[in-house]
Structure 1
Amino acid sequence: MTSSLSLIWTITAAATLLQAGNGLLQALMPLRMQAEGLPISAIGIVAAAYGLGFSSGCFLAPLFIRHVGYIRAFASLAAIVAVLVLAMTQAHSTLAWSILRGVSGMTFACIFTVTDGWISARATSSHRGRTLSIYMMSTKIALMLSPLGIAFGDIKTDGLFLAVSAVLSLSLLPIAATSTAEPPPPRTVRIRVRALFSAVPSAVVGAFAVGLINGPVIAITPVFGVSIGLSQDKAAALLFALQAGSLLMQWPLGWLSDRADRRHVIAGLAGATSLVSIAILLASMYGAQTFLLFAFAAWGGTALCIYSVCVAHACDIVEPDQIVSTVGTLLFSWATGVTIGPLLGAMAMDFIGPGGLFIYSAIVSSLLTVFVVVRIRMLRRDPVMGGFADIPSTSPAAASLTYRAEPPRGSSDGPDAKGQPDERASDQSTASATASPTTPS
């Protein structure tokens, strides 16, 4: 275990610093845009640009890393994103913010590919779970705590942006000082949405719906908080609550999904997200700030955990040689939702008011619940024991972190007559999607 940690401490330290800067930036940008008088619709457009840039980065990252290697890729990308943050201090229009946020989304996707791929290559099979848990906990805690830094500066000045840029620049130091060899370069992931939808529609639709709701809620939550009368630091604390809820609930929900048809867990989480969205709406209307904080934690514990269950469900079904393509396709589905969702969420807030964001969330999560329940009634599945792990939706390298156990000998399970995997083929197989620690965008 000690030798495994010695191989990943540099990338873990670098990723933790990177996520600390990223978390503060997530809270800072929408508040700065609102302070400059940009409408909610403009903030939604900027958030959609991030999703579009991120999805593009997922395709570009393997090519870039193969060309320059992991260390040079991380160093150059971290420098680029630090400069982009500095440029944001001079952004005063929707177009400028959209360009900068779109390019930063592409850059972050490539950086997360570097960090995830590095950890995947260095975590040995005997200590993989514990090694990845240390990495995941470090980065998630950094992402969770960093938005609270809003309280230490004024969003109308450039000080907080300078602090973000400095932290992102500091993430270069552990990588520059590493003495370990680089991992082998990643492979390109093939995207097959139609084929995967025919095999595991609940997972594909679930990943898309997660993007539709998680994208706008995370991007617009600080503005939502200010719009209902919270101070800037309390509005940023709502992001802390979201991540804290996700961190606390991820593993208990994973334990549950390993002992039941994972579609029941997806449907339950989606239904709970709808109910919690209504609770947030009511709490904001009546000014119950303490209850609102706990409600946001509950929302994070449900909505932010759906994607990893969708990945585990899909990995239960497909054949071992399709795992990489499967996770890449689910990521593409999520990124498509993240590109569209902020536009719809911002539109709901423009027409209805601040509460429109969570009315939108309740509607989308309810539709997901209905879809998955219908799928459960159409096709019964026995639970697949074991195999769940925390795979957040923003992991472009999640496919490289995925392990799939071979089916038992003598099993006839496999693709259907059309050459595509079928949900019924999973009853005697096991799957394991190993943890990917990158964070929600």
Structure 2
Amino acid sequence: MNSSLALIWTITAATTLLQAGNGLLQALMPLRMQAEGISVASIGVVAAAYGLGFSTGCFIAPSFIRHVGYIRAFASLAALVSVLVLAMTQAHSTLAWVVLRGLSGVTLACIFTVTDGWISARATSSHRGRILSIYMICTKVALMLSPLGIGFGDIRTDGLFMAVSALITLSLLPIAATTTKEPGAPQGVRIEVRKLLATAPSAVVGAFVVGLVNGPVIAITPVFGVSIGLNQDQAAALLFALQAGSLAMQWPLGWLSDRADRRYVIAGLAAGTSLVSLLILWASAQGASLLILWCFAIWGGLALCIYSVCVAHACDIVEPGQIVSTVGTLLFSWATGVTVGPLFGALAMEIIGPRGLFIYAAVASLGLALFIAMRIIRIQRTPTKGGFLDVAPTSSASPAMAPRAEANGGPDGAGDQKDESAVARADTST
């Protein structure tokens, strides 16, 4: 265990600093754009540009890492992201924001390929779960706390952007100081949406709808908070609540999903997300800021955990050799949802008002719950016990934790499953 930690402490420290900057940036950008008079619809277009850039980066990353190696890739990409953040201080039009956010999506996708691929390659079989838990908890805490940094500056000045750039630049130091050997070069991942849709439709549709819902909520939540009368600190705290809820619920949901048909868990989380979305609408109408904060924590604990269960469900079904490709395909489905979801969410806010964001989230989540319920009625399957870790869609650590099937009986199908946790080594990013 100690030797495995020695191999990953530098990349874990670097990723934690990077995610601290990224979390602050997620809260800062929509507030800055709103302060400059950019419409909610345009903010949604900027968020969609990030999703498009991220999905593009997923295809570029493996070949780039094979060409320059993990350490050089991280160093060059982190430097580029830092420059893009500084360039955002000079962005005064929707087009400028779209270009910069799209480019940051490409570079961050490549960086997450480096970091998660490194972690997955270095974690040994006997300690993989604990190693990945340490890594994910560190990065989640960084994402959870960093939006609170909004309170230490003025969104109309450049100081907070400089702080984000500084955090991302500091992430270079652990990588530059590492004395451990970097992992071997990754291999390519084939994206096979049609094939996986035929095999595990619940997982593919689930990942897509997660992108449709979570993408706009995370991207536009600070604007929603300000629009319903919260100050900028309280609006940023909503992002803190989302990540805190996700962190608190990861193990209970993992325990539950290992003991039941995972589709029941997906359907329950989606239905719960829909109900809590309506509760957020009621609380915002009452002006109950503390209740709104708690509702966001519950919403994050439900909605932000669906993707991981979708990954585990798909990996229950596919052959062991297809796990990396499966997770890559699910990430592509998620990224597609993230690309178009902010457009729908922003449009709902433009037509209905601020609360349109969560009316949209409620409807989309309910649609997913109904779809999964139809799949459960149509095909029953045996639950598979195995390891589970709440990983973000951006994490290629997920295939390393996903339980796999020795045999299966067709689409979402039943089959005799071994009660074991699969340890599929992820040599490439999803």
Counterpart of 1:6?
Answer: 6
1: distance between equivalents of 2:322 and 2:384? 18
Counterpart of 1:428?
Answer: 417
2: distance between equivalents of 1:83 and 1:4? 33
Deviation at 1:228, TM superposition (A): 0.5
The answer to whether the 8 A contact 1:241-1:294 is kept is yes
2: distance between equivalents of 1:349 and 1:261? 36
Counterpart of 1:410?
Answer: none
Local SS of the residue matching 2:90 = coil
Q: Does 1:129 align with 2:129?
A: yes
Counterpart of 2:46?
Answer: 46
The answer to whether the 8 A contact 2:386-2:422 is kept is no
The answer to whether the 8 A contact 1:27-1:147 is kept is yes
- Matched AA of 2:204: V
Counterpart of 1:287?
Answer: 287
Local SS of the residue matching 1:89 = helix
Counterpart of 1:102?
Answer: 102
Alignment deviations for residues 301-330 of structure 1 (CA, whole Å, 9 cap, x no partner): 000000000000001111111111111110
Q: Does 1:230 align with 2:230?
A: yes
2: distance between equivalents of 1:250 and 1:74? 28
Deviation at 1:426, TM superposition (A): 3.6
The answer to whether the 8 A contact 1:49-1:98 is kept is yes
Counterpart of 1:215?
Answer: 215
Counterpart of 2:150?
Answer: 150
Unpaired runs of 5+ in structure 1?
Answer: 408-412, 437-441
1: distance between equivalents of 2:3 and 2:314? 33
- Matched AA of 1:150: I
Q: 1:4 to 1:168 in 2, by over 3 A?
A: same
Local SS of the residue matching 1:155 = coil
Aligned residues: 425
Alignment deviations for residues 224-254 of structure 1 (CA, whole Å, 9 cap, x no partner): 0000010101000000000000000011001
Equivalent positions of 1:2-401 (< 5 A) are: 2-395=2-395, 397-398=396-397, 401=400
Q: More deviation in 212-221 or 324-333?
A: 324-333
Q: More deviation in 342-351 or 128-137?
A: 128-137
2: distance between equivalents of 1:319 and 1:120? 19
Deviation at 1:422, TM superposition (A): 3.5
Deviation at 1:374, TM superposition (A): 0.4
Q: More deviation in 359-368 or 322-331?
A: 322-331
Deviation at 1:74, TM superposition (A): 0.2
2: distance between equivalents of 1:406 and 1:8? 29
Local SS of the residue matching 1:125 = coil
Deviation at 1:427, TM superposition (A): 3.5
Q: 1:317 to 1:406 in 2, by over 3 A?
A: closer
Deviation at 1:434, TM superposition (A): 6.8
The answer to whether the 8 A contact 1:191-1:329 is kept is yes
Q: 1:399 to 1:2 in 2, by over 3 A?
A: closer
1: distance between equivalents of 2:393 and 2:424? 11
The answer to whether the 8 A contact 1:389-1:432 is kept is no
- Matched AA of 1:249: M
Deviation at 1:402, TM superposition (A): 5.0
Aligned-residue identity in percent: 73
Q: 1:8 to 1:20 in 2, by over 3 A?
A: same
2: distance between equivalents of 1:431 and 1:47? 39
RMSD: 1.6
Local SS of the residue matching 2:383 = coil
- Matched AA of 2:417: Q
Q: More deviation in 78-87 or 427-436?
A: 427-436
Alignment deviations for residues 278-308 of structure 1 (CA, whole Å, 9 cap, x no partner): 0001111110111000000000000000000
Deviation at 1:80, TM superposition (A): 0.1
- Matched AA of 1:422: P
The answer to whether the 8 A contact 2:51-2:102 is kept is yes
Deviation at 1:430, TM superposition (A): 5.1
The answer to whether the 8 A contact 2:349-2:357 is kept is yes
The answer to whether the 8 A contact 2:201-2:412 is kept is no
The answer to whether the 8 A contact 1:388-1:433 is kept is no
- Matched AA of 1:57: G
Q: 1:42 to 1:138 in 2, by over 3 A?
A: same
Q: State TM-score, norm by structure 1.
A: 0.94
Deviation at 1:48, TM superposition (A): 0.2
Deviation at 1:400, TM superposition (A): 5.7
